[in-house]
Structure formats: structure tokens, C-alpha cells
């Protein structure tokens, strides 16, 4: 029976075989590697991946699709909302210190998924995701650009990222109304040791009023915390490099 894409799950299924081959080549799966795919859908990417890997763990929320996937002899199916999955437990179940994570993420909840995975970065070898192109533009953005913001800082703190492939709407059934792309995310070996909630609050305050100088937002926040160090608040949030935000958070944490 043909599966009808469900809007509430943000389902758009890959159907372009040339694009699928290019994605698999970018991921470069090797036999026996512990890999987890988020949102396998109709298995367009799943099948070529499992052919190279031998076995694959998949996370699928849609009950009908999970039922289909269980009929595949080389798949281990986790039927769940990905935001409730403990990836450290998944890695442990696979007997692996680190796992590779891939997927065509539902565009309506892609940012919450990225932040959820940030909690498990220590057990992740790398991540390859299909996302809305404008989200990836924000993820990989450099300072002093319109795309640079909270997402850029939070993710670049823990990952080196690269936009590796453009995916047009006609590659899907049904076609989404946006362009897509593939991002590669490799956890950094020696990230600055920070409490994620502190950095998240700092960055959220900084970018709360992008057009104003930081003295109106972050400056007041720092004053309220009794910050006695040096930080130039005569700039806009987008002008501050990631490294400076990390250094500021580290100095606040040390107090």
C-alpha cells in the first residue's frame, strides 16, 4: 500500500536517485560501522546505507512506516520521537564508544533535534543531515553576516561544520517549498568546557535585539551578574566571533 506523506510529521520523501547516491557518497559508510538514521521514511537513503554497512539502527515516529521497516532483516527499529531518544543508551546498546548519525530531519523541528543531539555530542563520531538550506546557512555562518546568530554560536562551539551538497525541491515527493542541503557536523576534539545553559542564555540575550549595540542587551545582563572583566559592548551581536562568546562564557563560569 502506498504511504501518504503526513504533514504533521513534516514528511517529504527523497526520490532522486542521483541525489541519494551523492548523499551516500558524502556520508561514506563503511562495513560494520555503528550508524543511526533519524526518520528513514520509505528507506530511500536507508537501503543504500545498509547495503554498505551490513546493519543499521533507525528511529521512526510514524507507526505505519516503523511497521514496514521492521520487515527489513538488517534494520533495528526504534519507534519513538527522536527528541525522547537517549543516544548514549543507543551507543551502549550498539557496543560502540561513538556512533555516526544521519537523517533527513523534519524541517518543522530541525532546530530542537540539533539542540537535543548537542547533549550527546560525546558519543557521536559525526553527523550528516538534510535540512532546510536556510537553516544550514545559519549553522555555518561567519560573523558580520545576516545569517550569523544564536544557532551559529551554539553549534560552532561543539562542531566543525560544512555545507556539502545542495538538494533542490524536485528531489522529493512531495516537493517542499524550500531548498534543502546536506550538512556535515564533526564534533571538535577539544571544545571550550562550558555549561551549555550559560552559553545559551548569554547568546540568547546578545541576539535578542540584533540591530542594537550590545550595551543595551548583553551589557546590562553582564552588569546584573556583576561582571568585572573586559568585553567590548560597543558592537552588535553579529560582529562578535564565536571564540569571544566562548571566552566570555568561560570567564563568567570561573567566577
Is 65 flagged in the annotation as binding?
Answer: no
Residue 61 in marked binding region: no
Give yes or no: residues 119 and 156 share one domain: yes
Indicate whether 177 and 237 sit together in one domain: no
Is the residue at 2 inside a domain?
no
Is residue 165 located within the same domain as residue 217? no
| pLDDT confidence tier of residue 174, bands split at 50, 70 and 90 | confident
Query: What pTM value is reported for the model?
Result: 0.92
Q: Where are the alpha helices (H) located in 119-161, listed in sequence order?
A: 133-139, 150-158
Burial class for 88, CB neighbours closer than 10 Å (0-12, 13-18, 19+): middle
Q: Do both 209 and 168 map to the same domain?
A: no
User: In terms of residue numbers, what domain contains 203?
Assistant: 196-254
Residues 207, 146 share a domain: no
**What is residue 14's DSSP assignment?**
E
Residues 78, 200, single domain; the answer is no
39 known member of a binding site: yes
In angstroms and rounded to an integer, the radius of gyration of the C-alpha atoms of the chain is: 20
Judgement on whether residues 159 and 233 belong to the same structural domain of the protein: no
- Domain end among 165, 187, 209: 187
Count how many residues are written for the chain: 255
Do 149 and 128 share a structural domain?
A: yes
Q: Is residue 164 scored above 60 in pLDDT?
A: yes
Burial of 179 (0-12, 13-18, 19+ CB in 10 A): middle
Report CA-CA distances (Å) from 76 to 8, 54, 72, 191, 212: 24, 12, 9, 32, 50
How many domains does the chain divide into? Answer: 2
Q: Is 179 annotated as a binding residue?
A: no
| 35 and 59 both lie in a single domain | yes
Residue 104 marked ligand-binding: yes
What pLDDT, on a 0 to 100 scale, did the predictor assign at position 11?
Answer: 54
Over residues 176-203, mean pLDDT? 96
- Say whether both 249 and 129 belong to one domain: no
163 marked among binding-site residues:
no
| Residue of 245 and 1 predicted with greater confidence | 245
Amino acid at each position: 500500500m502506498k504511504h501518504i506523506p503526513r504533514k504533521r510529521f513534516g514528511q517529504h520523501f527523497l526520490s532522486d536517485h542521483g541525489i541519494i547516491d551523492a548523499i551516500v557518497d558524502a556520508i561514506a559508510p563503511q562495513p560494520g560501522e555503528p550508524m543511526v538514521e533519524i526518520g528513514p521514511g520509505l528507506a530511500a537513503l536507508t537501503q543504500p546505507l545498509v547495503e554498505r554497512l551490513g546493519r543499521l539502527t533507525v528511529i521512526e515516529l510514524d507507526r505505519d512506516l516503523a511497521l514496514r521497516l521492521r520487515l527489513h532483516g538488517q534494520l533495528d527499529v526504534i519507534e519513538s520521537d527522536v527528541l525522547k531518544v537517549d543516544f548514549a543508551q543507543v551507543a551502549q546498546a550498539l557496543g560502540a564508544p561513538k556512533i555516526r548519525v544521519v537523517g533527513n530531519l523534519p524541517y518543522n523541528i530541525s532546530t530542537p533535534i540539533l539542540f537535543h543531539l548537542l547533549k550527546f555530542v560525546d558519543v557521536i563520531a559525526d553527523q550528516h543531515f538534510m535540512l532546510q538550506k536556510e537553516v544550514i546557512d545559519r549553522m555555518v555562518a561567519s560573523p558580520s553576516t545576516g545569517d550569523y546568530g544564536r544557532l551559529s554560536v551554539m553549534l560552532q562551539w561543539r562542531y566543525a561544520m560544512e555545507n556539502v551538497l545542495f538538494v533542490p525541491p524536485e528531489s522529493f515527493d512531495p516537493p517542499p517549498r524550500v531548498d534543502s542541503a546536506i550538512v556535515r557536523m564533526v564534533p571538535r576534539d577539544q571544545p571550550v568546557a562550558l555549561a551549555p545553559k550559560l552559553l545559551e542564555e548569554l547568546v540568547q540575550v546578545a541576539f535578542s535585539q540584533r540591530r542594537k549595540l550590545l550595551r543595551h542587551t548583553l551589557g546590562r545582563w553582564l552588569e546584573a551578574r556583576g561582571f568585572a572583566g573586559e568585553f567590548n559592548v560597543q558592537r552588535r551581536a553579529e560582529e562578535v566571533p564565536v571564540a569571544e562568546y566562548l571566552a566570555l562564557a568561560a570567564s563568567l563560569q570561573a567566577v
